[in-house]
Structure 1
Amino acid sequence: MRSRDTLVNVGLLVLRIGIGLIFIIHGVPKLMGGVEGWTQLGSTMSIVGISFAPAFWGFMAAATEVVGGLFIILGLLHRPVAVMLVFTMIVAVLMHVTAGDPFTVYSNALKALVVFVALAITGPGVYSVDYRFLRRIA
């Protein structure tokens, strides 16, 4: 029989792999969208009062989804990456809420927001690069 700690750590690994893959798959088309796509994506930053360099912000959001997804899977720089993804999802949710979109349109972004908040709180678990090199749950 497995100990509770082992099950928790396996659960965190499964969660990290699942959400990381989803974000990589979801982010690659945005990353490949080029300047026009990045500008459209980055223009949503105006919701939080940032209206300069929309292509930069769009590229950063797309790169955060792809690279952040990979780092979440690996458990590498886990907490800082989870926090970056929390902010990315806050902007996504705010974009839909301010546009008057129905809940069903932004519920996936909201679910991801909750997952990344939980992962930022719990850390990556022992099956992670952070744990391997830091010997603690980073």
Structure 2
Amino acid sequence: MFSFLSKYQDVALLFARLGIGLSYIFVHGGKKLIGGPERWESTGKAMQNLGIGFFPVFWGFMAAISESVGGLLIILGFFFRPAATLILITMFVAATKHFSDGDPLSKIAYPIEMGMIMILFFSFGAGKYSLDYKFWKKN
């Protein structure tokens, strides 16, 4: 019944990549990145929930890079699966932090939802309209 939609899969992936990537650059990662060491430290302290309590500034900086540079790579469809994997890991840490803080489900749900999107991205690849496809002829 909906088989005609399969020819639009690559266009749909492009629009999804643009929306999600821009969100990560401007709403999440970018704010963390320009927040500087104080913001990185507070973000990096989330690693304590996983038993990693050393160098919170480093871990916070890595989360900011994962989200901002990862968002750009998602948009471009370049090193797409590694970028989706890094963001998935970052979302896992965010979800565990919110859960351990006793935050309401509404706050825990967002990183879980974004993690699920990263799993879908990893599964489908970047699509035909991506740099991965241009350089390696694979999505």
Instruction: Name the structure 2 match of 1:24.
Output: 25
Instruction: Name the structure 2 match of 1:82.
Output: 84
1:29-44 map, 5 Å: 29-44=31-46
Distance of 1:63 and 1:20 partners within structure 2 = 13
Q: CA RMSD in A?
A: 1.1
State the Cα distance separating 1:106 from its structure 2 match: 2.1
Deviations along 1:49-104, one digit per CA (max 9) or x if unpaired, are 11111100000101111100000000000001100000000000000111111111
Question: TM (normalized to structure 1)?
Answer: 0.94
State the Cα distance separating 1:28 from its structure 2 match: 1.1
Instruction: Name the structure 1 match of 2:11.
Output: 10
In structure 2, runs of 5+ residues without a counterpart are none
Question: TM (normalized to structure 2)?
Answer: 0.93
Distance of 1:114 and 1:5 partners within structure 2 = 21
Count of residue pairs brought into register by the alignment: 135
Instruction: Name the structure 2 match of 1:120.
Output: 122
In structure 1, runs of 5+ residues without a counterpart are none
| Percent of pairs with identical residues | 42
Displaced runs of 4+ in structure 1, greater than 3 A? 3-6
Instruction: Name the structure 2 match of 1:94.
Output: 96
